[in-house]
Amino acid sequence: MTISTNLVYFIALPLFSSGLLLLLGRKADKWGHIFATLVSASVFIIGVIEFFAMQGREGEARAATQKLFEWISVGSLQVDAGLLLDQLSICFVLLISGVGTLIHIYSIAYMSHDRDRRRFFAYLNLFIAAMLLLVLGDSYLNLYVGWEGVGLASYLLIGFWNEKPAYAAAAKKAFVANRVGDVGLSLAIMIAFTQFGTVTFAGVKEGASGASAGALTAIGAMLLLAAAGKSAQFPLQSWLGDAMAGPTPVSALIHAATMVTAGVYLITRSNFIFDASPTAQLMVVIVGAITLLFGALIGTAKDDIKKALAASTMSQIGYMILATGLGPVGYAFAIMHLITHGFFKAGMFLGAGSVMHGMNDEVNMRRYGALRKVMPITAATFGLGYLAILGVPPFAGFYSKDKIIETAFDSGGIQGILLGSITLLGAGITAFYMTRVMVLTFIGTKRWDEKAHPHESPFLMWAPMAALAVGSVASGFLLNSGSALVNWLQPVVNANQEYHSGHLLPPIVVSIMALTVVAIGVAIAVLKYRTVPVVAPENVLGITKAARKDLYQDSFNEAVFMRPGQKLTAGLVNTDYKVVDGLVRLVGWVVQISASNLRNIQNGYVRSYALIMVLGVIALIAAVWMVTL
Amino acid sequence: MDSLAIEVGQTLAPEATLFWILAPLAVVAALGMLFVKKAVHSALLLAWVMVTLAIFYIAQDALFLGIVQIIVYTGAVMMLFLFILMLVGVDSSDSLVENIRGQRPLAITAAIGLSGLLVSLIARANLGVEAVGLRGANSEGNVQGIARELFTNYVWAFEVVSALLITAAVGAMVLAHSNPAKSRTAQRDQSIARFRGTSLATAAGLPSSGVYALHNAVDVPALLPDGSPAPSSISATLEARGDMLSSKPFELEVKKEEED
Amino acid sequence: MDISNYIYLSAILFTIGAIGVVVRRNAIVVFMCIELMLNAANLAFVTFSRIHGNLAGQVTSFFTMVVAACEVVVGLAIIVAIYRSRRSASVDDANLLKR
């Protein structure tokens, strides 16, 4: 471990910029966005420098730590505010700051007509700071601070246009769903503290080797709950679709590339827990598999381009979560898919934003069609991302997704066959709905509104899209050549042991199966969606209706949690009013009644006072008599 | 003088007889004082109780105190009460209807409670089992014994009580004093008013009452020259009270035949 | 007969006086009841002096009489003054302190 003094700048610079822009208010309107973008860029440059410095070091010294200050010192709980930059963190740091900077640049043009652009950039920087704290924290508690910070930033950004009640409600929904997951993280930290006496990663890693299976499974389950909340996995996935109410750069940055991947980071960082608890790993795999299919099914029926991409994100993160449950090498492939996904999904979101910008903020794909003729750059970058997510060689997705499918098959026995089949099926459905999006938007027939005159986006918007498209093309190949990422992450996740052992199916067979499934999906979609009606048809299959309604997750949540919860709260409020307040009011009423009755004694007549004195004397004598009895 | 009481806790038969006759009477008188309507009757009943108590004092060898009780209490204090009753309104009587709610029942309860409590307390106490009697203390005589006690052991209290008496007397004078509504006119002013009045008829003073051969009193009016009675010769109070007599019966009979 | 009979009599007279204060409305009669209470106490003192065989009780009784006399003088003067200004000798008329 090298001691570094630079790590604090990752967090301090964006945090400072965010605070400055918020405090200065309107005065910073003219230059706020430029300043924020420069800060983001400088964070990326520091990240690159640290990356190269890290490459220059060997072995144990690769990881760098920095202790900021002693944070909590209560009895046996000693937690320092410290940062840890190791091989896993640097991947995230580069992804967050790199994609983040590109999206900052994009937002300068995208939000140029918005009066509150400066506030938007302040929140973006706040998000960057919080996310970096999340991936750089050296203990679960520090991670939790960043975890909450990104939740806050997500809330602020989803509800950025909070004049519209629907957007504010969507922000609240996202926060509440995240909160449910955060309970899991709190419980995991508490269990870890009681079991191991420490909450740092290093400490828990040491303690995990000696802990009981029950404790490890409990911690693992709680961490999985937290990851499900943050990464929109089943059963906490209902917020991701509504989160599209935020501006498109937000959807690109937070809900495609970075925040939703925090769950994957958490599980990967806790690999020592999951590797020691097969039950927890099984739970992870089940959640990932279910979400994979869930998101894919929803994505097939959405007409809103952003919601379709959101469902796609849900499904792809399902892939990543499934991979993290497949053992040491699965972590490395999950991270690989995470990075490639960051490129192509962010690129596609930015492309969607570009299309919306050109089509006057229209999001209904039934109103698009043949846009490649007027928006060639957007169509090109979107198309490259599309090929990447399909897994077509040599684009990025091919390397990362096929490796996951391979590892799924390799996990052995019935589970292996089942998981492998599910991932293949998912790939097919992905191909189907992504082709649907592609065809409806860029190819097909023109179904524009009369008032729409689509045009290509300005330079500041298509330049980041182009940069991300380059990533969509090249990142997979680069990360996989010579098992680069697997080797790089080896010290963190012990990936290497399993990688070169025998495979169930040879990789080439897996790839051919995958491509076949993809081709079938593409073909069906192209044939079906050449022409579509502008108004969505009503008499569709039951499954389509269900998919349009997010497979009834919202209805379920409402019926099972919300309405009983509301009744419970109403009942409690009523009880508080009647019983608790009633008791207090009863006391007051008793005092009042007795006082108004006692008042009658004061009738002003001397004789009645004299009588009271006589009674008092009697009482006195009686008392003395009792005492001497 | 032989004491009427004996040393041991019991008393002789004469004293017992005295007690058992007078004590119920005293209680009845006290209750009567409580229940009669006219205040004067209450005062008289109280006087009766005090006399009874004086008799008891004398029966218990407190001779000085018994006589003082009659002279001071019954004589001075009760008479003072009666004087004030006269001032305030002799005829005034309380209505026996009680206007404070619950006063009567509560008062009865208090009466029973207090008396019961006191009686039971006294019954529990060891009284009179070894009564010493005053034969020794009264060896020089009761007055001398009290004087000895008063001017040796209690001289300070005696002085203070004297001061209290003086204060009370002065206080009573101040309280009862009232300024006259209008000041009395002086002699000179009265004389001037007489001569400056509308007529000089009374300048030399009012006529005096009639003096007749058969009657010479303040309640018969004088006769004016024309034979009619002069009303201003009699005090107005007597006239108001109807005590003025006619002067007719006292006039001399004049024979009317000599006036042909 | 027991000497304590005198004490019983004193207690009964005292009670009657106490109730009289409470029940009667004429101020002067109230005063008279107070005098009755004082007299009952005097009787008790004299009896105690006889029981103990020294004259302290009688001296106390003497002082009580003096004080009672002073009290009567001043009290009746007050009643006269009140009567002059209010034309009424009822204790119930001074009820302005009621609620």
**Antiparallel, parallel or unpaired: β A77-85 and B222-223:** unpaired
Residue A465 has pLDDT above 60, yes or no: yes
User: Residues with Cβ < 8 Å from A266, sequence gap 6 or more?
Assistant: A143, A185, A223, A226, A227, A230
State percent of chain B over pLDDT 90: 35
Q: Band of the pLDDT at A70, cuts 50, 70, 90? A: confident
Question: Rounded CA gap, A458 and B78, in Å?
Answer: 122
Lowest mean pLDDT among A320-329, A525-534, C88-97: C88-97
Q: What is the separation, in whole angstroms, between the first and last Cα of chain A?
A: 87
Mutate to test the interface with A, among C14, C16, C22, C30 (most CBs of A within 10 A): C22
CB A164 within 8 A of CB A103: no
CB C15 within 8 A of CB C60: no
Question: Rounded CA gap, A419 and A416, in Å?
Answer: 5
> What average pLDDT does the segment A498-509 reach?
70
User: Domain B1-95+104-137 - what CATH class?
Assistant: mainly alpha
Chain A residue set in contact with C, beta carbons under 8 Å: 599-600, 602-607, 610-611, 614
Question: Rounded CA gap, C47 and C89, in Å?
Answer: 36
Q: Band of the pLDDT at B157, cuts 50, 70, 90? A: very high
| A610 contacts on C by Cβ (under 8 Å) | 21-22
User: Residues with Cβ < 8 Å from A563, sequence gap 6 or more?
Assistant: none
Taking alpha carbons only, the member of A95, A14, A91 closest to residue A54 is A91
Dihedral angle, C-alpha A557, A558, A563, A565, nearest 10 °: 30
Q: Band of the pLDDT at B7, cuts 50, 70, 90? A: very low
Q: Between A611, A617, A622, which is nearest B103 by CB?
A: A611
Does A621 contact B at CB distance below 8 Å?
A: yes
Residue B1 confidence (pLDDT): 38
User: Residues with Cβ < 8 Å from A72, sequence gap 6 or more?
Assistant: A78, A79, A141
Lowest mean pLDDT among A295-309, A584-598, B213-227: B213-227
Question: Rounded CA gap, C21 and A607, in Å?
Answer: 7
Residue B260 has pLDDT above 60, yes or no: no
Higher pLDDT, A284 or B254: A284
| C22 contacts on B by Cβ (under 8 Å) | 103, 107, 110
pLDDT tens column, A334-375: 999 999 999 999 999 999 999 988 888 888 888 888 888 888
Query: How many angstroms from the chain centroid is the CA of residue B15?
Result: 31
Beta bridge partners of A2: A64
Got the DSSP string for A71-110? EEEETTEEEEEEEEE-HHHHHHHHHHHHHHHHHHHHHHHH
∠ Cα B168 B172 B176 (to 5°)? 175
- Helices (H) then strands (E): counts for chain B: 9, 2
pLDDT tens column, A43-59: 999 999 999 988 888 87
Give residue limits of the domains in chain A.
Answer: 278-548, 561-628
Mutate to test the interface with C, among B40, B46, B139, B178 (most CBs of C within 10 A): B46
> What average pLDDT does the segment A417-427 reach?
90
Q: Is the preceding peptide bond at A235 cis, omega within 30 degrees of 0?
A: yes
Does B14 contact A at CB distance below 8 Å?
A: no
In chain C, the domains with their CATH numbers are 4-87 (1.10.287.3510)
State percent of chain A over pLDDT 90: 34
Which tokens in the block code for residue A25?
């208010």
Residue C99 confidence (pLDDT): 57
Beta bridge partners of A79: A72
Does A601 contact B at CB distance below 8 Å?
A: no
Taking alpha carbons only, the member of A37, A55, A56, A57 closest to residue A45 is A37
Got the DSSP string for B55-117? HHHHHTT-HHHHHHIIIIIIIIIHHHHHHHHHHHHTT-B------STTHHHHHHHHHHHHHHH
DSSP state, residue C90:
B
Which tokens in the block code for residue B90?
């002799």
> What average pLDDT does the segment A135-155 reach?
92
B88 residue type, one letter: V
User: Residues with Cβ < 8 Å from B127, sequence gap 6 or more?
Assistant: C2, C3, C4, C7, C51
pLDDT tens column, B76-133: 999 999 999 888 876 666 666 677 777 888 899 999 999 999 998 888 887 656 667 7
Q: Band of the pLDDT at B257, cuts 50, 70, 90? A: low
Does C18 contact A at CB distance below 8 Å?
A: yes
Taking alpha carbons only, the member of A531, A103, A122 closest to residue A354 is A103
A71 residue type, one letter: W
Tracing tokens 């846009």 back to the chain, one arrives at A371
Residue B136 has pLDDT above 80, yes or no: no
Interface confidence, given as ipTM, is 0.91
Q: Do C77 and B171 touch (CB under 8 A)?
A: yes
pLDDT tens column, A203-247: 888 888 888 888 899 999 999 999 999 988 888 888 888 888 889
Which tokens in the block code for residue A494?
């012990």
Q: Band of the pLDDT at A495, cuts 50, 70, 90? A: low
Q: Which helix (H) or strand (E) holds A148?
A: helix A140-158
Task: Report the chain C residue with the minimal C-alpha distance to residue A600.
Answer: C99
Which tokens in the block code for residue A567?
């009744």
Q: What are the φ and ψ backbone dihedral angles of A83, each rounded to 5 degrees?
A: -120, 145
Question: Which stretches in chain C have pLDDT values below 70?
Answer: 94-99
User: Residues with Cβ < 8 Å from B143, sequence gap 6 or more?
Assistant: B63, B64
Q: Do A611 and B107 touch (CB under 8 A)?
A: yes
Residue B11 confidence (pLDDT): 62
Q: Do C99 and A614 touch (CB under 8 A)?
A: no
Higher pLDDT, A406 or B27: B27
Q: Do C71 and B20 touch (CB under 8 A)?
A: no
Helices (H), chain C: 4-23, 27-52, 56-86
Q: How many CB atoms lie within 10 A of CB B251?
A: 15
Q: Between C15, C32, C90, which is nearest B118 by CB?
A: C15
Residue B95 confidence (pLDDT): 65
What SS3 class is residue A197?
A: coil
Higher pLDDT, A278 or A369: A278
Mutate to test the interface with B, among A615, A624, A627 (most CBs of B within 10 A): A615
Give residue limits of the domains in chain B.
Answer: 1-95+104-137, 140-175, 210-247
- Helices (H) then strands (E): counts for chain A: 27, 3
> What average pLDDT does the segment A572-588 reach?
89
CB A108 within 8 A of CB A120: no
Question: Rounded CA gap, A179 and A174, in Å?
Answer: 9
User: Residues with Cβ < 8 Å from A619, sequence gap 6 or more?
Assistant: none
Mutate to test the interface with B, among C8, C14, C15, C21 (most CBs of B within 10 A): C15
User: Residues with Cβ < 8 Å from B19, sequence gap 6 or more?
Assistant: B11, B56, B59, C1, C5, C6
| B111 contacts on C by Cβ (under 8 Å) | 15-16, 18-19
Q: Between C19, C22, C97, which is nearest A604 by CB?
A: C97
What SS3 class is residue B216?
A: strand
Residue B91 confidence (pLDDT): 62
CB A333 within 8 A of CB A476: no
Q: CB contacts < 8 Å between B and C, how many?
A: 234
Which tokens in the block code for residue A155?
């809330």
C contact residues 22-81, partner A, Cβ 8 Å cutoff:
22-23, 25
Residue B220 confidence (pLDDT): 82
Taking alpha carbons only, the member of A103, A114, A113, A149 closest to residue A129 is A149
Helices (H), A359-506: 376-390, 396-410, 413-441, 459-480, 484-493, 496-499
Task: Report the chain C residue with the minimal C-alpha distance to residue A597.
Answer: C99
Q: Which sign does the torsion angle of CA A243, A248, A250, A256 carry?
A: positive
Q: CB contacts < 8 Å between A and B, how many?
A: 28
Q: Do A603 and C99 touch (CB under 8 A)?
A: yes
Does B123 contact A at CB distance below 8 Å?
A: no
Q: How high is the mean pLDDT of chain A?
A: 87
Q: How high is the mean pLDDT of chain B?
A: 82
Q: Do C91 and A605 touch (CB under 8 A)?
A: yes
Which tokens in the block code for residue B190?
């009265």
Residue A124 has pLDDT above 60, yes or no: yes
